[in-house]
Structure 1
Amino acid sequence: MLRRLYSGSNLDRAQSLYDLRARAVKKLPNFCREYLEGGGDDELTLSRNRQSFNDILFRPRMLVDISQRDLSTQIFDQRIAMPLAIAPTGFNGLLSHEGDLKLALAAKKAGIPFIQSLVSTVSLERIAATGVRHWMQLYLFQNRENFKGVIERAKKAGCEALVLTVDTSVLGNRTWDRRNYRAPMQLNLRNLIHLATRPAWVWDILVPKGMPKFTNLGDSLPPNQASAKNAASFLTKEMDASLNWQDVRWLRENWQGKLILKGLLTSEDALQAKALGVDGIVISNHGGRQLDSAPSAIDVLPEIRQAVGQDFLLIVDGGLRRGSDLIKALCLGANLVLSGRATLYGLAAGGQAGADKALEIIQTEADRTLGLLGCTEINQLGKEYLL
């Protein structure tokens, strides 16, 4: 009998994130799958994000009492169940109805932070009301008044941290995604036909209230113009190509909570961020969707950790598919790892139950890997556990 990933609806039978991905691919229309899976240009960076993790080998120690193990850690003076957070990803309402809310509830249940994207399809106030540890991701707009409005809403909602994305001043060339459309946000005939083969998706997404809206851009868009098409046009026009370190300084002065920069890949930029009083950075190539041939986060993590020292929060983003990947990142100096596509596979496969399952798989695999390495706590991890 040939090996085959499980793609059925019984989530209990999913043995790995790859099973959840197989189920997601089976359920999603083609254009949604491409949006979820695609990268920039030739997708070299997208592939490298996985290959870099695969190339890391462990150096386990034996005859250690590993009967009691603990994955919990402390981030910003609060403990979380494991060193993982759900990454900010946009338009999750395409994968499951009110997908962002389901991800937030899954994160709360797992005891980890949820980073909400500005281009999510559930309002930040509703996410904050769940009681999840809530961080809000932002893009800097040319119109600073629009930007200030989102900051004020985040402040009133009690968001713990702002996560400013800095690697999208120029949008990447996502060719496979664009091939699905005959005009911006207008599906071509091939994809419209394929949509008819996914009735469950249609009834989950389109039938309740039509295409999801970018609710967090409501203050920035004209009245009744929060559709995907109008919001995409707005974002393209409003992305500020002049974004620079003075803007980071301004944001630091105007936001009293925790501030994180997402999208840095060099030690020089990490040191600059630290000097400006930023509380941490996300080492990220935007999931391989921006600059192709950029390094993976795990490639540059050791250099950045050495540059900034041990007292600065480093978060790794991109490529996580196994709990063992989380452990590898911790060995190389990360404090926290983000789950982007990994939890989206679960969301697309089975809504909140699927997201719960994805986080359960990651936690179980990470705990098992910790034990197999001969460790009982994650603060014991270091380069000595890698070849």
Structure 2
Amino acid sequence: MGAILDCWNIADLRDKAQARLPRGIWEYLERGVEDEHGMARNRAALDALTFVPRVMRRVDAIDTSATIFGQPVPLPLAIAPTGAAGLIWHKGDAHLARAAAAAGVPFTISSAGTMDIEDIVPAGGTQWFQLYLWRDKELSYEVVRRAHLLGCGALFVTLDLPVIPNREYLHRNGYGMPIKANRRNVPDMLLHPRWLAGVLGRYLLEDGRLPTQANLPAHLKHSVARGAKPGAHFKQDDLDEDALRHLRDLWPGKLVLKGILHPDDARRALALGVDGIVVSNHGARALDGAIAAIDALPGIVEAVGGKLTIFLDSGVRRGSDIVKARALGADAVMVGRAALYGLAAAGEAGVARALELLAEETRRTMAMLGARNWGEVSRETLGL
């Protein structure tokens, strides 16, 4: 834990994560798609926004609290769904969930993870469920029902991966799915003994097998070393408004559409009766040339006119990014990689440190701006 306390920003956690993970796992976490311009575009767009601070205001009491779907949170932040957590840390999803619960922020369970919903929910706190639809749609609907019965308060349907994205580096580094032992990845794993013993070794020792794709019936589960069985493939190229209306009818909780970048799609989401949207380009892991999420945010905020809860993700690394998103009209921010860096560095303690750093930076940024609460953060804060 001492080494984690020596991390003073998300970049420090990133460095520790890279040192601990084999190249292929690290690249799956860190990299984008194709020519990988999108990640730089996300950061450049956030960095281009500048603040116009106000002074002569007492800032000895900064209130960063907010509400998400009517529930109070200490910070307008949630952990985004991330499917690789179980390969980054042994049963990593549970570590993420426990750290989120301790910090009082929501955690989103990924349908592409390696832990069943039933094994994550006991971590407590506010938990949501993210859905990719399987080829067998009835499997998807059954998982949705389970998520509701187990207490997940919101369903996030990811829309921006209609087809498998082009992550060429996975073919080069030998970590494509399914992961097969070969002359590239075996030496790589052996050079990272902490990960090898602490992740793969623990799965084999405690479970007697490698991790499997979660949330499927027992006869369809498959390990990361084996290809998906018939019916267990994700299939979203046929996802349309009719499918979303069916999910709206099926799901009694809050329904959120993730991966919205166009104002017209935000209006369509509103017409479908959803409760929220995530303005996101999937962390630049879907379409390399997509607009930066923060650049898409103002037009979407205007399009929905305060009638939906709006989340922003993709590229968030600092508390100042949270403030910028709020200034442009987002209700909350979701973080994926930032939390995973902490997870890779030190499990639950690392995630806790990541959330602590983001909270401290948010509070400090607001004080520097003379903004004592979110009501004093607006477009004017950015000189707009």
TM-score, scaled relative to structure 1: 0.94
User: How many angstroms does 1:233 deviate by?
Assistant: 6.5
Residue 150 (structure 2) aligned to one of 150, 157, 171? 157
Which whole-Å CA distance do the structure 2 matches of 1:182 and 1:62 have between them? 52
Which whole-Å CA distance do the structure 1 matches of 2:231 and 2:41 have between them? 28
Which whole-Å CA distance do the structure 2 matches of 1:169 and 1:279 have between them? 22
Question: Measured at CA, do residues 279 and 348 of structure 1 come closer, stay the same or move farther in structure 2, by a change above 3 Å?
Answer: same
Residues 1:62 and 2:55 aligned together: yes
Letter in 1 for 2:168: T
Question: Measured at CA, do residues 33 and 9 of structure 1 come closer, stay the same or move farther in structure 2, by a change above 3 Å?
Answer: farther
Residue 330 (structure 1) aligned to one of 316, 326, 330? 326
Letter in 2 for 1:65: R
Question: Measured at CA, do residues 328 and 172 of structure 1 come closer, stay the same or move farther in structure 2, by a change above 3 Å?
Answer: same
Structure 2 SS opposite 1:36: helix
Task: Show structure 1 runs of 5+ residues with no match.
Answer: 1-7
Structure 2 SS opposite 1:315: strand
Which whole-Å CA distance do the structure 1 matches of 2:256 and 2:287 have between them? 21
Matches within 5 A, 1:16-95: 16-95=9-88
Structure 2 SS opposite 1:186: coil
Equivalent residue, structure 2, for 1:246: 242
Structure 2 SS opposite 1:115: strand
Which whole-Å CA distance do the structure 2 matches of 1:233 and 1:203 have between them? 28
User: How many angstroms does 1:222 deviate by?
Assistant: 2.6
Residues 1:212 and 2:205 aligned together: no
Deviations 1:353-379 (A, max 9, x none): 000000000000000001001001112
Deviations 1:2-22 (A, max 9, x none): xxxxxx971111111111100
| Equivalent residues of 2:25, 2:175 under 8 A apart | no
Residue 119 (structure 2) aligned to one of 123, 126, 131? 126
Structure 2 SS opposite 1:273: helix
Which whole-Å CA distance do the structure 2 matches of 1:315 and 1:154 have between them? 21
| Equivalent residues of 2:311, 2:333 under 8 A apart | yes
Which whole-Å CA distance do the structure 2 matches of 1:243 and 1:359 have between them? 34
| Equivalent residues of 1:20, 1:349 under 8 A apart | yes
| Equivalent residues of 2:90, 2:203 under 8 A apart | no
| Equivalent residues of 1:182, 1:188 under 8 A apart | no
| Equivalent residues of 1:9, 1:23 under 8 A apart | no
Question: Measured at CA, do residues 234 and 63 of structure 1 come closer, stay the same or move farther in structure 2, by a change above 3 Å?
Answer: farther
Matches within 5 A, 1:281-360: 281-360=277-356
Letter in 1 for 2:248: R
Deviations 1:313-341 (A, max 9, x none): 11001001111111011001100101100
Which whole-Å CA distance do the structure 2 matches of 1:235 and 1:295 have between them? 33
Residues 1:203 and 2:197 aligned together: yes
Which of 283-292 and 360-369 deviates more? 283-292
User: How many angstroms does 1:297 deviate by?
Assistant: 0.9
Question: Measured at CA, do residues 310 and 231 of structure 1 come closer, stay the same or move farther in structure 2, by a change above 3 Å?
Answer: farther
User: How many angstroms does 1:254 deviate by?
Assistant: 1.1
Deviations 1:17-75 (A, max 9, x none): 11110001010001110110111111111211111111111111011111111111011
| Equivalent residues of 1:43, 1:288 under 8 A apart | yes
| Equivalent residues of 2:342, 2:352 under 8 A apart | yes
| Equivalent residues of 2:222, 2:229 under 8 A apart | no
Which whole-Å CA distance do the structure 2 matches of 1:171 and 1:337 have between them? 25
Letter in 2 for 1:374: G
Structure 2 SS opposite 1:338: strand
Which whole-Å CA distance do the structure 2 matches of 1:380 and 1:326 have between them? 14
Question: Measured at CA, do residues 237 and 118 of structure 1 come closer, stay the same or move farther in structure 2, by a change above 3 Å?
Answer: closer
| Equivalent residues of 1:9, 1:350 under 8 A apart | no
Percent of residue pairs bearing the same amino acid type = 42
Residues 1:377 and 2:376 aligned together: no
Equivalent residue, structure 1, for 2:273: 277
Q: Tell me how many residue pairs correspond in the alignment.
A: 377
Structure 1 SS opposite 2:252: coil
Which whole-Å CA distance do the structure 1 matches of 2:327 and 2:181 have between them? 44
Deviations 1:89-119 (A, max 9, x none): 0021111111000000000011100011001
Matches within 5 A, 1:133-148: 133-148=126-141
Structure 2 SS opposite 1:263: strand
Structure 2 SS opposite 1:60: coil
Which whole-Å CA distance do the structure 1 matches of 2:187 and 2:121 have between them? 38
Letter in 1 for 2:22: P
User: How many angstroms does 1:235 deviate by?
Assistant: 8.2
Which whole-Å CA distance do the structure 2 matches of 1:182 and 1:81 have between them? 38
Structure 1 SS opposite 2:123: coil
